[in-house]
Chains A and B, each alone.
Chain A
């Protein structure tokens, strides 16, 4: 076999590996990114979704819904997109920006329990006004 052919074989092997790793990585680690409304229609269409499939939900925290239990470091709150509302429970430290004082957007990662509560494994907060500070007077 000529060197050029051998090289092409090696190159194809590398490209194949990269392709395989990417395809498999997406399959194994990809998670749905949904709004509460989309989550509701997903679970309606596919009941096995509950408890089995991990997803992320991007929504706003319902003002006044945050209940903290600092001893257990547990936090309960509700998220909503104005169409559907889901309760969330999370154990762990939430970021500094997580407050229910002003409309904050959060990304909640977790699974939906049979009781309709999202068991979060991670909570990211992104305050809409975070980098803008107080609205202009």
Chain B
């Protein structure tokens, strides 16, 4: 099977080169047969890479330990779900995963894009083929997933226990899907530049793709936080680790793009900026892979490192030079249609939002690269950690949160005093009431208080929008409240879906603010000993150490420490935290021991219990207890955000004519047939 896999990779490589050469030569223009060839070679590449992927899965499932990849990431006693997901557990497999998914997306883009964009499609095929060919060439020349060993081990090494977690089965593919799908908007942007058809057409063609990529990234990042929280055991979900930052960067620039694209659609401004954002986002997705793969920056979760980093660096540089040069050559064709009329307008609010998002992205990039930069410039390595990212990003994040409330409500072009009064009196009151309530409740953390008060303001704006929409429908159509609510959303999916996404973001901010009040305590306990902790919500918890038990499971030896928990004197039952030593099928230890955190979650706070080890093999145990406020809301915010995102791109709905949209944007619209009777 490895021979077939290798052959399939080579075939994909040759097809990719063919597609790239033919596409960029432009010979297909006016030649429908050649255009069709370019597009079909994408489908052929997909076929080859599917064959290669099946070959790899075949090797994994049949425990072909003569294959280096199979021996490195699986073992006979590995549960079958993880054998399946071992496909993307290692570097070589994830390269193949990347290539096959990109070819799938590239094919979907060819099939699903409406015919009126046919003039872009051969170029789109060429750009996607170039990226696929890069990934395939890395596999062929540096990281062959089908490499065979000179001997056949009796058993494989098994999968790193930290990766044996359901979150790890779905988190990397989700994040990859996000990264990979960013290539499609980039390909359309390049196609628009190459074809010199620089109207807003390409933006319409990629609208759904941008939301899909953004959704995958959002879900991938949230799942990553969940994995870090339950698996790494340090007590939080975001550590500003380089790998985490790398996933945040394209998300930030993509978020900026989702907003600035509305300005171009409605007002014909920001054309160059939008191209810049799409190119930048794509480059950041490659940069993210480079950071994860190369090990240039020490990270706690560099699971995969090797020299393929240099391939990525080279690709990054070449792609940046080519795409920005192309943008530069079309610069004069991208003049804005209108000028900004007032800084008190929706355009301006969105521009500031964009600057802030890019500013946050820049500071995260700067902080992530700082060790390298300082060593290059000053000869000494200086690192910045979580305190840096918090200092810089908390104020910027709070400004952004405020703009989340302002942007959707303020008028286009130029907001009048009447407009400001009508839109903002109630929400501002909401924010102030929240602020007073927090101060009365004794909350004193400055940033958390500001965050929660701003959240109150933004929630006020969103509730007001829904309230007004429903009231208008009830007046015009006499609908019941639930029906009016459903139709309101159904008829304006993009707008109200967007508001729901904002609700999700709001929930994230509230949850992040909650972590400012976390409590932590370490203790060494004999059986029967207990520790008391007071939670930020005023509950009193008592943790009593019950004892340690040891047993063997399928692929591990477990020692489990159990505590009994009472909350305000009432028993909550037992919580167990484990220390696991994974073993191979000959019971020899593999990997370092790993920790399984004991977590009990409710809407107010999480109890997070880490068993850190026993004292000299006795039943005396070392524990760390965390009380983490509002963590449940992070995961819930993710769900709300995902639902809102799905809603915005659900097909159908929305006004069929562009007139209402133009009217909203402040243009004059003639009502044909009005007043005829």
Contact = CB atoms under 8 A, between A and B. Distances in A.
Interface of A: 3-4, 6-7, 10-11, 14-15, 17-18, 21-22, 24-26, 28-34, 38, 56, 58, 70-71, 73, 92-93, 96-97, 99, 107, 124, 126-127, 130-134, 136
Closest 5 A/B residue pairs (Cβ): A18-B359, A33-B381, A70-B615, A29-B387, A133-B157
Contacts of A96: 579, 592-595
Contact of A22 (B363, B524, B620): B363
B622 A73 contact: yes
Interface string B382-400: 1111011001100110000
A133 B590 contact: yes
Given A10-B348, A10-B352, A29 B384 contact: yes
B343 A29 contact: no
29 contacts: A3-B341, A4-B339, A7-B348, A11-B352, A15-B355, A17-B359, A17-B395, A18-B363, A21-B392, A22-B366, A25-B363, A25-B392, A26-B370, A26-B384, A26-B388, A29-B387, A30-B382, A33-B381, A70-B613, A70-B616, A73-B622, A92-B522, A93-B522, A93-B612, A96-B579, A99-B592, A126-B298, A131-B304, A133-B590
A10 B353 CA distance: 12
Contacts of B348: 3, 7, 10
Interface of chain B, helix or strand or loop or mixed? mixed
Contacts of A11: 351-352, 355
A124 B392 contact: no
A18 B360 CA distance: 8
B342 interface: yes
B624 A93 contact: yes
A130 B592 contact: yes
A25 B391 contact: yes
B610 interface: yes
A106 to B, nearest CB: 11
Contact of A15 (B359, B366, B371): B359
B158 interface: yes
Interface of B: 153, 157-158, 160, 298, 300, 303-304, 339-343, 348, 351-352, 355-356, 359-360, 362-363, 366-367, 370-371, 374, 380-385, 387-388, 391-392, 395-396, 522, 524, 579, 588, 590-595, 610, 612-613, 615-616, 620, 622, 624
Contacts of A6: 343
B391 A24 contact: yes
B610, B613, B620: most-surrounded residue (chain A CB, <10 A): B613
Contacts of B371: 33
A28 B615 contact: no
B524 A28 contact: no
A73 B624 CA distance: 11
Nearest to A97: B592
A131 B366 CA distance: 28
